[in-house]
A and B are shown apart, each in its own frame.
Chain A
Amino acid sequence: MTYVEYKQLNPFQKFAYNFKKFFKNLPGAVGRFFKTIGLAIVHFFVGIGKGFKNYGTTFVKGDWATKLSYIIFGFGDFHKGKYYKGILYFLVEVLYALFMIFFGGSQLALLPSLGYLKQYDYEDADGFTVTVLGHQSMQILLFATLTIVVTIVVFVVYISNIKDAYRHQVMRENGEKPTSLKTDAKEFLDGKYHITLLSFPILMISVFNILPLIFMILIAFTNYDGNAHNVLFDWVGLEKFGDLFNVLDSANKGKTFLGVAGWTLIWAVAATFSNYILGLIVALMINKKGIKLKSVFRTMFVITIAVPQFVSLLVMNQILAEEGALNLLLGTRINFLGGEPWVARLTVILVNCWVGIPYTILSMSGILMNIPEDLYESARIDGASPYKTFTKITLPYMIFVTTPQLITQFVGNINNFNVIFLLTNGSPTNPDYFSAGYTDILVTWLYNISMGGGKKDYGLASAIGILVFIICATLSLIIYNNSKSMKDEEAFS
């Protein structure tokens, strides 16, 4: 369809056309997404291959000092007169060796079995009970993960040591002298400034984000259930993922997963679209020409966002309670949050509107004010009615600009812990579910079976986390790949 043809369609046909186009393009977008991932993997392996090739050729070309650097860190640098760097490299090797001998090695050796010594009690000569601690799988897993991360870092240092040794060898062959410590230090404020700036954040993120993340992913393949007595546990492979889809399971885990996942989907769709549509309507009303007190209305709504969410949700929880203000006002005793499953579910969605609409209004107002004024002006000159300008200019513009936002909000709602947890905490409980209630979504269920008070299953929680990640990551990457602002990052500079 050409542009002119498209322009002649009425709004409904346009919508139908866009709708069709979206779904026609969807396979393409998904395909591109997998192609990108595939390419990334290929790049990764090509990179590793290149690394090995360089590793070999450098060894062949290197002189004896460079060759010795393959075993003794920093020897090449030291030999070429770059003393401080050579010593630093060597120090890394010594520290790593000590780390592995006294700590890391034993932990790694225990990783396949996750420990075998059981904790036991015995009575000593005086009749006191003495507890002998055995292996603790949790600790072994965490320390082994730590060891692996440290090993990867040391490996990177090792490779850079070889590269540096070879670089200095070439420099000597060309008759250049190695740079002094002072020049190098200065270089860290200019040419290598990115290393200075990034090292602290990367260290923090590695210790408190990446390490726990690897650890939790590994937990998904064990049978750890989080109960205090369970000190020793084992690898179980993909059993926990199997549990999630096993509907006939006696502990109801599979049934719970299907039920909770279904409600999560309904919740995410309902919450996203109700917020989007109602928010758009209110934003249009506030921004309509001729409406006064715009900023007053806007501030009223923004206050809801500004008040900490836990305060507004806890207050809502109290107002909606069985003896709460709303029931007093209506003269009824409806149990909004813990009675009938569908009443509770509806209440959660409605309260989420109360929480979420102001966000939509805020972002929509910004976009509405950004619609170029000359569009309206030329429409007025051409004699378009207000209704026409709305359907032909405002609406298409808004839908075009805000579609990516819609998907981001959808992902956000799948992960919307606060609303559910603070409002209903999953109630009413479902006796047929494994530690979950009717309003629990996947992430609150994850919380219940890992940190909550009821029956626990840590491995299952991790498996759920991984599944939620895969869903969210796929959705986000598809938007990310197709969004313009990511493609021409430097458009404005």
Chain B
Amino acid sequence: MIKSYKFRRALANTIIYIILGVMCIIWVMPFVYLLLHSLRLDGAPVGNGEVLPRQFTFQNYIDLFTGQSSNAEVQAQSLNFPRWFLNTFVVAIFSCIISTLSVLMVSYTFSRLRFGARKTLMNIAMILGMFPGFMTMIAMYYLLKIMGLQGQMVSLVLCYSCGAGLGFQISKGFFDTIPRALDEAATIDGATRNQIFWKIILPMSKPIVVYTVLTAFIGPWTDFILAKIIMQDNYDNYTVAIGLQKMLANEYKTTYYQQFLAGSVVVAVPITLLFLKMQKYYVEGVTAGGVKG
């Protein structure tokens, strides 16, 4: 009897292993395809009959960053990946600084300070979050156009960081779990709210601060639609996301397909690593439940 129970369990586990294994292969396969084909030697576009490449080279990556292309006439066109990469990096740094500050400031205020308009403001923030994003994006484009900022990188920074204050829920939730006794003790010792924020709450919230920083930094790398609306045809100020999509446009695809794959790998690897790091801090922040006083 015991033997058959063990056997049944082993059988169930084997079936589960097989299912999970197959699913993992399905899930990871597209990325393997991406990686292998980004290293493919032959410059020919898709559809030459081979699913797995036979010869490997780093030439695609070198081409991507030197702006060289096997086709001379194509080189004159303004697809400049290194520039896009730099653009995205600069935008990400600035919007990261501004958004992190806004998010932390707003969440501290709503978590710790009590004032008349608090509930009203929180409700307004919630309602604003429910509008579909594009409604504001399209109007934002006209606003920036009238300000003379359309197609500029400044406007990207503004757009990424302006609404950041609305995403205060997660860090507010974290601040809520820090015992209020700490604030009270500090107040008795004569600390102002300002000092409590910078000297007590922030140092205790490392996981959630790192999480906020990483989320804000990753945003511009993965955003697609807002950048497309603002940049339109201003290729020089493109970010990597719209730049890579541009490489797949019909007129570029034949020559740039390999570079598109290489570029995707170049963007995906660091962002994936950062994301995994961020996930770790998120779990730490949520499960730690603050600092038990």
Contact = CB atoms under 8 A, between A and B. Distances in A.
Interface residues of A, number: 87
B61 interface: no
Contacts of A181: none
A119 interface: no
Given A302-B279, A307-B272, A328-B51, A493 B134 contact: no
B180 A493 contact: yes
Interface in A38-74: none
Interface stretch (A110-118, A164-172, A209-217): A209-217
A205 B31 contact: no
Given A201-B102, A290-B13, A306 B272 contact: yes
B105 A201 contact: yes
Considering residues A196, A213, A311, A328, which has the most beta carbons from chain B within 10 angstroms of its beta carbon?
A311
Contacts of A344: none
Most chain A Cβ neighbours within 10 Å, of B49, B194, B267, B273: B194
Contacts of B127: 473
Interface stretch (A93-101, A280-288, A396-404): A280-288
A251 interface: no
A454 B126 CA distance: 34
A66 to B, nearest CB: 23
B159 A190 contact: no
Interface string B115-135: 100100100001110111111
A286 B263 CA distance: 33
Interface string A206-240: 01111111011001000000000000000000000
A209 B226 CA distance: 13
Given A297-B24, A417-B225, A211 B143 contact: yes
A319 interface: yes
A197 B132 contact: no
Contacts of B192: 186, 189-190, 193
Interface in A423-446: 443, 446
B16 interface: yes
Contacts of B241: 308, 310
Interface string B263-286: 010011001110110010001000
B17 interface: yes
A400 to B, nearest CB: 19
Interface string A291-304: 10000010111111
Contact of B276 (A204, A290, A302, A325): A302
Contacts of B143: 142, 207-208, 211-212, 215
Given A307-B271, A309-B222, A198 B244 contact: no
Contacts of B178: 493
Nearest to A327: B47
A476 B33 contact: no
A462 interface: yes
A447 interface: yes
A147 B54 CA distance: 65
B26 A213 contact: no
Interface stretch (A25-33, A255-263, A464-472): A464-472
Given A309-B222, A314-B244, A323-B47, A205 B194 contact: no
A307 B146 contact: no
A75 B76 CA distance: 66
Given A200-B102, A302-B279, A308 B177 contact: no
A315 B33 contact: yes
B105 A197 contact: yes
Contacts of A193: 109, 113, 192-194, 197
A314 B264 CA distance: 9
A358 B275 CA distance: 14
Contacts of A362: 279
Contact of B140 (A202, A208, A305, A328): A208
Contact of A443 (B23, B130, B132, B272): B132
A306 B131 CA distance: 26
Contact of A306 (B165, B244, B275): B275
B40 to A, nearest CB: 12
Contacts of B261: 315
Interface in A155-199: 186, 189-191, 193-194, 196-198
A469 B142 contact: no
Contacts of A189: 192-194
Contacts of B109: 193-194, 197-198
Interface string A351-382: 00010001000100010000000000000000
22 contacts: A194-B113, A197-B105, A201-B102, A204-B158, A209-B136, A213-B135, A215-B139, A215-B143, A216-B136, A282-B20, A285-B20, A306-B279, A309-B224, A310-B245, A312-B30, A324-B47, A358-B27, A422-B224, A447-B134, A465-B132, A476-B126, A492-B289
Given A291-B17, A301-B24, 9 more contacts: A142-B142, A142-B143, A193-B194, A198-B109, A208-B143, A286-B20, A311-B264, A312-B30, A472-B132
